[in-house]
Amino acid sequence: MVELVAGAGLVMITIIGFIDIRGYFENAILINQKYYVQIAGGGNPMVSILKAVMTPFMYLFNGVNIPEMAVVKVMIVAIIGMTISLIYRKKYSQVGWIWVILTLANLRNFELAKTYYDGFHLIVWIGLVLAIPYLLAKKWWWGMIPLFALVMINKSAFMYKSNYGDEFEIYYSRIYNMSEAIRTTKNDQDRLLSMPDVVLGYWQAGVKPAGRFIFFYKWMTGVSELKSEQMKNFDSKPEYLIIGNKEGLAIETYLKSYKNFGYRGSGGSEFYVRDDLFKSFPKEKVERLKYYGLEAI
């Protein structure tokens, strides 16, 4: 115990000169406790726990019927069947740890109909759903299920001709292209304001953030101090914007000073360049934007 306290004390003494102690407690504890935890937890702890217990049953009827989700649903049915079997054999302790673990894995009750990257909060819960039947099963043929699922999910690779243009436009392609567009057209003093969380642009483009926020989520609009500070960032008219979601902020007036861009033929995108800056771009910079799929509308 003495060694633990001494070690923690040494770390605190080492970093105390490099961090804002007051700011850390204000953001990590006070604001989190007062605002974010209330939103993420749904307000009522008992309701959250009840929803978490019911997650497997609700997932079966989430309306998503793509093959990947079908595999998860099959494994949920397997868990329910094994639970009934364990109760019949009076192995209550195993029933207990299965459902306690699954409940704890989704206490925040994220949307069950989201898929791929949108549903990343559920990845731990889904991993447990896939793993638990293997931990309980004693038959060798359980090992064939992932192989069968893999073949079914990827059968289109054998049946249809690939569309490489679509397949190589993966999740981060759009963000990457917008970041590269900034990097190849910016000046050293230019700034980016991004909402809610396209933070790759700051690092990849080597562009300065407009203000101290590198992300700004909807719950932050409920904190008057944070909302006021973010609106002041718009007052300074950053050179570049990536606005994926307005997050409850009235910024339409500010956007009138910006040129919006379509992305790969779309009618518009979250990418903006300050209008006067764009007008000053030479032809080669405009072509660079087009190279990355961005064209002024």
Give pLDDT, residue 233.
93
- What would you report as the CA-atom Rg of the chain, rounded to the nearest whole angstrom? 25
Task: Give the pLDDT confidence of 55-70 residue by residue, as tens digits.
Answer: 999 998 888 877 778 7
Q: Say which residue, 135 or 104, is predicted with more confidence.
A: 104
Of 171, 186, 165, 180, the closest CA to residue 264 belongs to: 165
The mean per-residue pLDDT over the stretch 166-189 comes to: 84
Residue 119 has pLDDT above 70, yes or no: yes
| CB-based contacts of 13, cutoff 8 Å, min separation 6 | none
Distances, alpha carbon 17 to alpha carbons 7, 8, 11, 21, 157, in Å: 17, 15, 11, 9, 56
Give pLDDT, residue 120.
82
Q: Say which residue, 44 or 220, is predicted with more confidence.
A: 220
Of 284, 202, 197, 271, the closest CA to residue 240 belongs to: 271
User: Which strands make up the sheet holding 258-263, listed edge to edge?
Assistant: 208-209, 191-195, 240-243, 271-274, 258-263, 294-296
The mean per-residue pLDDT over the stretch 104-130 comes to: 83
Mean pLDDT rounded to a whole number for the chain = 83
Give pLDDT, residue 136.
78
Percent pLDDT > 70 in the chain is: 84
Q: Which residues pair with 194 in a beta bridge?
A: 242
Percent pLDDT > 90 in the chain is: 41
Task: Give the pLDDT confidence of 248-273 residue by residue, as tens digits.
Answer: 788 999 999 999 999 988 888 999 99
Residue 253, exposed/middle/buried by CB under 10 A (0-12, 13-18, 19+)? exposed
Distance CA 265, CA 176 (A): 17
Distance CA 45, CA 56 (A): 19
For 262, the token pair is 């379509």
Give pLDDT, residue 22.
82
The mean per-residue pLDDT over the stretch 148-155 comes to: 60
The mean per-residue pLDDT over the stretch 230-245 comes to: 93
Residue 160 has pLDDT above 50, yes or no: no
Residue ranges in 105-153 assigned as alpha helix (H): 123-136, 144-153
Of 42, 202, 27, the closest CA to residue 107 belongs to: 42
Distance CA 111, CA 134 (A): 26
Give pLDDT, residue 275.
96
191 dihedral zone (left: phi>0; alpha: psi -120 to 50; beta): beta
Whole-model pTM over 0.75: no
> How far is C-alpha 123 from the chain's CA centre?
11
Q: Which amino acid belongs to residue 195? A: M
> Where is average pLDDT lowest: 13-22, 81-90, 146-155, 157-166?
157-166
Residue 135 has pLDDT above 90, yes or no: no
Give pLDDT, residue 57.
92
Give pLDDT, residue 258.
97
Give pLDDT, residue 245.
83
The mean per-residue pLDDT over the stretch 148-170 comes to: 55
